[in-house]
Amino acid sequence: MAIEVGTKLEGKVTGITHFGAFVDLSGGVTGLVHISEIADSYVKDVHEHLKINDVVTVKVINVDKDGKIGLSIRQAVDKPPELQQQMPPRGPRGDRGGRPFKPGGPSRASFEDKVSRFLRDSEERMSNLKKNTESKRGGRGGRRS
């Protein structure tokens, strides 16, 4: 049986590590359930959620070229739509944080306005930084012999 991304399978936990659990699928194929894919809540210790020889339902989330299989227990559980939390889309760095997008915000300013605002803010930050470092060194000309 070919293992494809998105399929749900049953398997038996064969090994537990600090970073996840190894699950034996059919035909002696083994995949890894990463600690972040075990439960919807924070998992500090895998042993609190799984034991060796537990039979679990997993979903295949990725199959690498070298044969490594990534599995998920939490994605294998079907949740009613009203209980599923809507996650904000990932940002450019892969995170989900950051400032919210405001249409018609800073993009309405001309390029010259943006550059002048950047220079002003940059000079202000540099002067604050210089003040803080000079006071720690004893100020200008405070060399000792």
Q: Where are the domains of the chain?
A: 8-72, 108-136
Instruction: State how far the alpha carbon of 89 is from the alpha carbons of 4, 101, 104, in Å.
Output: 25, 11, 20
pLDDT score of 38? 92
pLDDT score of 130? 85
pLDDT score of 26? 81
Closest CA to 50 of 69, 75, 25, 74: 74
pLDDT score of 22? 95
Fold type of domain 8-72? OB fold (Dihydrolipoamide Acetyltransferase, E2P) (2.40.50)
Specify the higher pLDDT residue, 2 or 132: 132
Contact (CB, 8 A) for 105 and 114: no
% of the chain surpassing 90 pLDDT: 44
